[in-house]
């Protein structure tokens, strides 16, 4: 069995970026140079009935909305705003409830209206499997260029823009607002060294950022914000494990100069969203976590990965 991570690593070495692609496989999305000083980001993500949503309980509007929202989250992770959407659907031959597709596209339209971009194409197929939907979005940077996950520096602070864990319990994974406003604000107010969104769980996604950047991370367990959706009946350790590994949080994980961030956070009283400093980057490799006793322990990557045989 090959892990999704290993599979993507192999693809990245087999298909290195080539002009006009400047950033290829391995980040939240790809970057294409458009002219000498403008670039375009392209992201894509597929959602499957039974894996990323369950049509027995999720409304078609929320399914369409989530398909766009997870891609918007990847654009936010690159500090880009959306410009166009391409949506491909696989419809089960066994049929769908009345108005199902209209309602899926109502959910899509909620977000194209909210974030002011349009549907520009896609593909429609039927088959003997369950409902599946793939979205590809294009975007352009809020500032000079897209922010990558491979450019964290030793000495950076590690930050998240929201609390973590419990996203399945009350369906937050279906209804979250992609953090484009947060990404734009950060782009305009600070220099973000590296960024990605947390889709598969903080510990797994941080390990990807650390590996891509060639640095080591130390998290401070006491500073990791646990979402109120994580049951308060769990032990402290279980709540921390939920924050580290549940996934589908869709908040931003970024690194930046600690001194500059401290200054920003002290002087910015009108911040419309939370920014938590949860650790720092060092020279070296791998992720470790400082527990309540002050001891450092290796941080296993516990998030969600697909298996590919
Ligand atoms: P995210 O969780 O941020 O959406 P993924 O884990 O889906 O990112 O993808 C990581 C990287 O691997 C991205 O650059 C993506 O485009 C690339 N990737 C994933 N699957 C494939 C594939 N089957 N073929 C080519 N590239 C892929
Ligand atoms: Mg991502």
Taking only the tens place, the pLDDT of each residue in 165-210 is 999 999 999 999 999 999 999 999 999 999 999 999 999 999 999 9
Nearest-atom index, ligand 1, CA of 205: 2
Q: Is the pLDDT of residue 302 over 90?
A: no
CB burial of residue 53 (10 Å; 0-12, 13-18, 19+):
buried
Provide the sign of the torsion angle of the four alpha carbons 170, 110, 274, 291, taken in this order.
positive
List pocket residues of ligand 1, CB cut-off 6 Å.
Answer: 8, 11, 25-28, 45, 74, 199-200
Q: Is the pLDDT of residue 91 over 80?
A: yes
Select the more confidently predicted residue: 13 or 271. Answer: 13
Nearest-atom index, ligand 1, CA of 200: 2
- Determine the Cα–Cα distance for residues 149 and 252; give it in Å rounded to an integer: 11
CA of 256 to the centre of ligand 1 (A): 24
CA of 175 to the centre of ligand 1 (A): 23
CA of 139 to the centre of ligand 2 (A): 14
- pLDDT, tens digit (0-9, with 9 covering 90-100), for 19-52: 999 999 999 999 999 888 899 999 999 999 999 9
242-248: average pLDDT = 96
Residue nearest to atom 19 of ligand 1 (CA): 8
Q: Is the pLDDT of residue 304 over 80?
A: no
pLDDT band at 1 (very low <50, low <70, confident <90, very high): low
92-121: average pLDDT = 97
Shortest-distance ligand to the CA of residue 208:
1
The best mutation among 2, 6, 7, 8 to test binding of ligand 1, ranked by most ligand atoms within 8 Å of the C-beta, falls on 8
Q: Is the pLDDT of residue 308 over 70?
A: no
DSSP 167-199: TTTTTHHHHPPP-HHHHHHHHHHS--SEEEE-S
Token reading at 187:
């782009």
Nearest-atom index, ligand 1, CA of 15: 25
- pLDDT, tens digit (0-9, with 9 covering 90-100), for 252-278: 999 999 999 999 999 987 789 999 999
pLDDT band at 309 (very low <50, low <70, confident <90, very high): low
């Amino acid at each position: 069995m090959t892990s999704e991570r290993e599979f993507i690593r192999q693809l990245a070495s087999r298909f290195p970026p080539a002009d006009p692609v400047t950033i290829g496989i391995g980040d939240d999305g790809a970057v294409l140079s458009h002219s000498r000083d403008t670039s375009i980001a392209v992201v894509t993500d597929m959602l499957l009935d039974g894996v990323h949503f369950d049509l027995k309980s999720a409304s078609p509007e929320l399914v369409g909305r989530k398909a766009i929202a997870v891609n918007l989250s990847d654009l936010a992770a690159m500090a880009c705003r959306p410009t166009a959407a391409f949506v491909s659907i696989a419809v089960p031959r066994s049929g769908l409830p009345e108005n199902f597709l209209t309602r899926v596209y109502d959910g899509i339209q909620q977000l194209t209206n909210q974030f002011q971009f349009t549907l520009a194409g896609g593909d429609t197929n039927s088959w003997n499997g369950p409902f599946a939907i793939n979205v590809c979005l294009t975007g352009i940077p809020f500032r000079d260029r897209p922010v990558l996950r491979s450019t964290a520096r030793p000495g950076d602070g590690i930050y998240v823009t929201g609390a973590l864990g419990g996203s399945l319990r009350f369906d937050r994974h279906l209804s979250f607002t992609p953090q484009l406003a947060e990404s734009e604000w950060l782009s305009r107010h600070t220099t973000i060294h590296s960024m990605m969104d947390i889709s598969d769980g903080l510990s797994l996604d941080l390990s990807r950022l650390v590996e891509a950047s060639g640095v080591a991370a130390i998290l401070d367990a006491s500073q990791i914000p646990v979402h109120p959706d994580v049951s308060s009946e769990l032990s402290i350790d279980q709540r921390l494990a939920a924050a580290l590994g549940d996934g589908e949080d869709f908040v931003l994980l970024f690194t930046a100069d600690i001194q500059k961030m401290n200054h920003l956070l002290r002087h910015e009283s009108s911040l419309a969203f939370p920014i938590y400093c949860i650790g720092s980057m060092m020279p070296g490799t791998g992720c470790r976590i400082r527990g309540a006793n002050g001891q450092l322990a290796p941080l296993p990557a516990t998030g969600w990965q697909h298996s590919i045989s």
